[in-house]
Amino acid sequence: MVNSRLRLTLCVVFMLALVSVPAAADVVYDNGPIFGNGDAWTINFGFVVSDTFTISGGNSTITGLSFGGHAFPGDILESVEVSITSNEDGGTTYFDQVVNTTQSSCSVNQYGFNVCLESAAFNGPTLSNGTYWLNLQNAVTNTGDPAYWDENSGVGCQSPGCPSMASVSTVGTIPSESFTLYGNASGTGTVPEPGSLFLLMGGVLGLARVVGRKLCGTRD
């Protein structure tokens, strides 16, 4: 009896996982993959890098971000200030928070910099269809060294409105950067192709299904 109840409980847990994982992994906007061997722009020491993104699938709550980061070998990007605004690092502020980052898929580029996928999860704003600005600044590394945002010019982007427009606070207009925004869309519209986080969550979803079947039957 106890084993039957335990199996039933675990079955329910995994069935809930099947329902909840896809909703948490929607790609809201994708500006393309990391390039890695070109320019990258400083996102600390007072520099602010801004890229546009477009919401096209109805009201969407932003829950996470991934982007290409460049750093000196041995450096780890620990956090970055993320803001979402109506204008280029200005206008109405919908979100502004320092978020912790996790890096993965690192490789050394031709200039000797470590290029990594930087990921962060946070409780972001709910945005209606339209174009907004994503701003990165005040990044912190474990050594206090500069951190950079990878420039990809939007090559390979998958979303309506891409490639992004972009700028840096001290220079002005620049080519756009590699990043993906994740969230929960309550409306309808075109859903972009998934980024790396979505693929990871897809793996978790697959694992839940298997177990569930067993239980239930310029670098400046």
pLDDT at res. 215: 39
**C-alpha dist (Å) from residue 57 to 61, 104, 155:** 11, 28, 22
SS (H, E, C) the chain: CHHHHHHHHHHHHHHHHHHHHHHHCEEEEECCCCCCCCCEEECCCCCCEEEEEEECCCCEEEEEEEEEEEECCCCCEEEEEEEEEEECCEEEEEEEEEEECEEEEEEECCCCCEEEEEEEECCCCEECCEEEEEEEEEEEECCCCCCEEEECCCCCCCCCCCCCCEEECCCEEECCECEEEEEEECCCCCCCCCCHHHHHHHHHHHHHHHHHHHHCCCCC
Residue 49: Cβ within 10 Å count? 26
As averages over each run of 10 residues, the pLDDT of the chain (220 residues) reads 44 38 69 97 98 95 98 97 97 98 97 97 97 98 98 97 97 97 70 41 41 46
Tokens of 128: 């209606």
Of 65, 59, 130, the closest CA to residue 91 belongs to: 130
In DSSP terms, which residues pair with 66 in a beta bridge? Answer: 119, 180
> Does the domain formed by 26-193 have CATH 2.60.120?
yes
- In this prediction, residue 193 carries a pLDDT of 40
